[in-house]
Amino acid sequence: MDSKEVEKLIRISSLVLHEMRGTLSDGDRLFLESWLKESAMNKQIYQRCLDEAQQRDGYASLQHFEKQRNFESIKAKLSFHSSKKRSGLLKRLWPYVAAASVVLALSVVWYWNQDNSRPVQTQRVAVNDRLPASHQAIITLSDGRQYALNGGEKQVVIDGNGIRYDDGHEVASINAAVSARIETPRGGTYEVTLPDGTLVKLNAGTILSYPTVFAKDRREVSLRGEAYFEVKKRKDQPFIVHTQNQQVQVLGTHFNLNAYQTATETKTTLLEGKVEVKELIKGQKVTLLPGDQSVNTGTELTKHPVNVQQEIAWVYGKFNFDGKSLRQVMDELSQWYAIDVVYKGDVPDVSFFGGTFRTSKLSTILKILKDQDLSYHLTGDGKLIIENNNPKAQKGGQ
């Protein structure tokens, strides 16, 4: 591996760090996503960097690490040592570099240089635990054909040539089908590129319905659940998203739409461009500019400024719990981990702060959310029992 390759890996490591901190720029995100698409090995390296157990163990070991702490010093050794010396250095340093930000680049380079035939360890999970959502979805065509999408992929493309994975492998031909529906179950997520080139990222428990060919004067889709849209701009062909109690109309923009039927509100958050939101009962309308969010209660439509990065944290693989109530947090976890939440007794609706990666196991999330007055217990049949530890609060079920 020459110095240019090492420099590239160091840059990738830096981008991963920025992503973990929520400070990754749009341009750098494109570079990182491009690198991830280059090979399956890159994706494995990326997941290894985010593995919580390795980060924790590496951090513990790092407490004893007194040499080579300075990133520039390590970078210099990687760039200018001979390949033989560099390989030896990496092997000696590996026990200390699994987690710390200064040496994250080393974990990437070390893994890159290992035998590619070595199987990647699968994440272990306790009997009463839940792994995070994976790439899974089902496409149903209007002629009745149905296809379970490959979990090894994460995106499908639909156009006049049929339905295929992002790498070009065909899922199905369109034939006489005039519409399609892609559905992610609870515990599933997927992406779809629509006939006009619009990218839609589907959160868990979401259904997106769309025509196989858009009309000349408009592009219409229907959503139930949550999705992030990157709409291709077409001046004379507005893009319209229908939900149970509203419609969103854009020409070309990036926005997030949270329209779970189990929620009491439908939220539309704008990142770029301009959006018009119309609720369907009274016909109220609001226009959103970047940084705005509309809230539709079913009877009233309002808008206000929000922290966009917090609202779309899920798009970048994160949970953000800042200011969210217990029930709001549990609604998210219920979809992502495919669990049913049961509140036992008089449980206070406490608020939480902070967040973590959505690649964590449920048990890890519950540790983060741990409250001295609340206990969490996951049953074997996928029910998360939440109860108040204070006996005086036990006044009956909810």
Q: What is the pLDDT of residue 194?
A: 95
d(CA 72, CA 59): 19
Segment (H or E) for 139: strand 138-141
Which is nearest to 149 in space by CA: 188, 187, 179, 120? Answer: 188
Beta strand segments in 275-323, E: 275-279, 285-288, 292-296, 301-305, 318-320
Q: What is the pLDDT of residue 272?
A: 92
Strand partners, 249: 240, 276
d(CA 34, CA 98): 24
Which tens digits make up the pLDDT trace of 101-121?
333 433 433 333 443 334 444
Output the pTM of the full model.
0.67
Architecture of the 134-308 domain: Sandwich (2.60)
Give the max Cα distance, the chain. Answer: 72
With b meaning 16 or more CB within 10 Å and e meaning fewer, what string describes 317-349? ebbbbeebebeebbbbbbbbbbbebbbebebee
Concatenated DSSP letters for 33-91?
A: HHHHHH-HHHHHHHHHHH-HHHHHHHHHHHTT--SS--HHHHHHHHHHS-HHHHHHHHH
Q: Which residues contact 92 (CB under 8 A, 6 or more apart)?
A: none
Concatenated DSSP letters for 95-113?
A: GG-SS-GGGHHHHHHHHHT
The pairing of beta strand 301-305 with beta strand 318-320: unpaired
Spell out the CATH class of 317-393. alpha beta
Segment (H or E) for 315: none
CB 36 within 8 A of CB 43: yes
Segment (H or E) for 309: helix 308-311
Give domain limits for the chain: 3-112, 134-308, 317-393
Report residue 387 as tokens.
Answer: 């109860």
Give me the chain's average pLDDT, please: 77
Q: Which parts of the chain register pLDDT below 70?
A: 1-11, 14, 17-18, 20-22, 44-45, 48-128, 372, 391-398
